[in-house]
Amino acid sequence: MEGGHGKADRTEFTECWRTTWKTPYIMRLALSAGLGGLLFGYDTGVISGALLYIKEDFQEVNKKTWLQETIVSMAVASAIFGAPIGGWINDRFGWKMSILLADIVFFVGAIVMGAAPAPWVIIVGSILVGSGVGMASMTSPLYISEASPARIRGALITIFFNLITIVWNPYFVLNQIYQV
């Protein structure tokens, strides 16, 4: 339907899956780029549950709610700034370099958070992790859309966004169960 949208029928869905499974490149493309969505969902979902253990390790965090709020929110807040930086890197150096840099920033942030001797180091690591996640959330859908066939492009980009919520929701449910 030109200029609008129509309801997808079973044939289009079947064609999308056949094309994806018959062409290993497309499957690897969707899964590897979809990892950006998985990281975003994992990072935002797991930090609220990790706060329980952070409070046990650092009494200062247990006593100050503003410190708890800062630890949890810095990853999401820095993702807001990481996304336009990722866009600039995409324009300047290409999506391969942007994905690689996002992975490196995310990895360094995770190491910093894991080895943190003080709450402020956790916040610095969270800023790095959030920046990497923001860069990946900008670059991954762009990469999928540029490298995939036009007829299944939308379905493959949907994988990215579904991975955010598929990973995000169980962590929130599990965090609520374990807090009780």
Q: What digits encode the pLDDT tens for the residues 78-133?
A: 999 999 999 999 999 988 899 889 989 989 999 999 999 999 999 999 999 999 98
For residues 82 and 130, the answer to whether their CB atoms sit within 8 Å is yes
Our measurement of the distance from residue 162's CA atom to the centroid of its chain's CA atoms, rounded to an integer in Å, reads 11
Surface-to-core class of residue 177, CB atoms within 10 Å of its CB (0-12 exposed, 13-18 middle, 19+ buried): exposed
Has domain 35-179 been given CATH number 1.20.1250.20? yes
In the chain, how many H helices and how many E strands? 7, 0
Q: What is the pLDDT of residue 145?
A: 83
Place of tokens 């709450």: 119
SS3 171: helix
SS3 9: coil
Q: What are the residue ranges spanned by the domains of the chain? A: 35-179
